[in-house]
Amino acid sequence: MSRHLLNVIATILPLSLTSGLLAADAFEEPPISYSSSTPDNCISALQSKIDSGKVVLKYDDQFGYLPDVLGSLGVPIESQMFVFSKTSLQLRRISPKTPRAIYFNDNVYIGFCQDGDVLEVSASDPQLGTVFYSMRQEQQERPQFRRHTDACMVCHSSSRTDGVPGHLVRSVFVDTEGTPILSSGSRVVDHTTPFEHRWGGWYVTGTHGSQQHLGNLTIDGRDVPKSLDNSAGQNVSALADRFDTTEYLSPHSDIVALMVLEHQTLMHNRLTKANFATRQALAHEKMLNEMLENPADKRLDSTTRRIQNAGNDLVDALLFVGEARLREPIAGTSNFSRVFSERGPHDKAGRSLRELDLQTRLFRYPCSYLIDSDAFHGLHAEMKSYVWQRLWEILSGADQSERFAHLSKADRQAIIEILQATIRDLPEAWTASSEAATRVNTASN
């Protein structure tokens, strides 16, 4: 065995033995270099406009910069939700009487506290995943979004966020002060979470029939009763009897907005994981090929596996694999459902991936609208190629595995047609006519 190969093995073995320890910090090293890389997202773009004077944010005596920040970023007020668990940067400002308000669109999340020191911001960055910012809630000539790379990582970079800088929606029991009762557990929530485990520590407005959830609930003391009665927290249409809603831009904490948020945060994390895994795998492959004196373009099996594993996780999220089914219809209290659905894009038949179902599942066509987002379009080309290949196999009917049995023949065909009509730069396999796709799907079903 050559000395060169021995050196290669000596290098690889420590990496494999310590992979668990290194995983949390792997994105701080090339090719990601999370903290030292310059962000390129909706917040960095807005900051550039503020610095140049193209955008002037107005300061409101009650809400600070919140209204103008939402307006500048295209974040609808209807997306507002309230969380009263002390689980964020400004926990001393948060309680059941003074909940934190959260607003979001496809690319950014904004947190607001009454009398808060800052607006809390997390943005989806196509190359860096979630990037965290704050903006001081005091009047300035040119307010600044300050990036954070340390404290936020404690909660927002762990197994709960797929090991990448990500978003985190939690359901926890809280006491009457809003302090989490962590001894009773904590659950990360996404579209696969059973309805009955959602929204601990959150206010929820909307109707959902006999389905039970943990929203609108506080616990007296620090012990959660084994027999829990949250009947007063179900099917709540207004919150004015719980706290002063006039201190916020809207009185709603819409159940549909909450459900969309939970899907979207999972998708953003999976998109980040897919992009990071591809770039890291290719960089590792390049290093090994150089050390082993392989051809530069030699594809290693380990590279293929890493790309496919992350890609499969992303495809699962895109197609709502494992989505918790609804037993009864859901209806929100604000105009969020209308505002969200109207955004489109729509095909000639008026269909859109944003069209809500809310009878048995969240969306009428179970393929995530974030397939047409900056984060998806910013995926590495090899990951996008693999994801589009898998989607075609599944939606065309070539893949009939049980994992995707929740997609009916009609679902698959409709999703194909919507994607063909609304997504730019589809791969060649997707450019076939709708009639050809119908024949494939029909023959396979």
In sign, the C-alpha dihedral spanning 165, 166, 169, 171 is: negative
pLDDT of residue 56: 97
pLDDT of residue 365 exceeding 50? yes
Tokens of 198: 């959602």
Tell me which long-range contacts 283-287 makes (C-beta under 8 A, separation of at least 24): 283/30, 283/31
> Is the pLDDT score of 70 beyond 60?
yes
For residue 24, the model assigns a pLDDT of 53
Residue 334: HSE in the Cβ half-sphere, 13 Å Cα cutoff = 22
CB of 90 within 8 A of CB of 100? yes
pTM: 0.91
Residue 151: what pLDDT? Answer: 62
**From the CB of residue 409, how many other CB atoms can be counted at a distance below 10 Å?**
13
Provide mean pLDDT across the span 297-305. Answer: 95
**Cα–Cα distance measured from residue 251 to residue 206, given in angstroms and rounded to the nearest whole number:** 12
CA distances from 200 to 175, 217, 253 (A): 11, 7, 13
Residue type present at position 231: S
Residue labelled with tokens 């997609």: 407
pLDDT in tens, 112-124: 999 999 999 999 9
CB 418 within 8 A of CB 353: yes
Q: Which residue has the tokens 């090293």?
A: 29
pLDDT at residue 11 greater than cutoff 60: no
Please, are residues 34 and 165 in contact by the beta-carbon 8 Å criterion? Answer: yes
Judge whether residue 156 has pLDDT over 90.
Answer: no
Bridge partner residues of 133 (DSSP): 121, 147
Binned at pLDDT 50, 70 and 90, residue 232 comes out as very high
Instruction: Look at 4 and 27; give whichever has higher pLDDT.
Output: 27
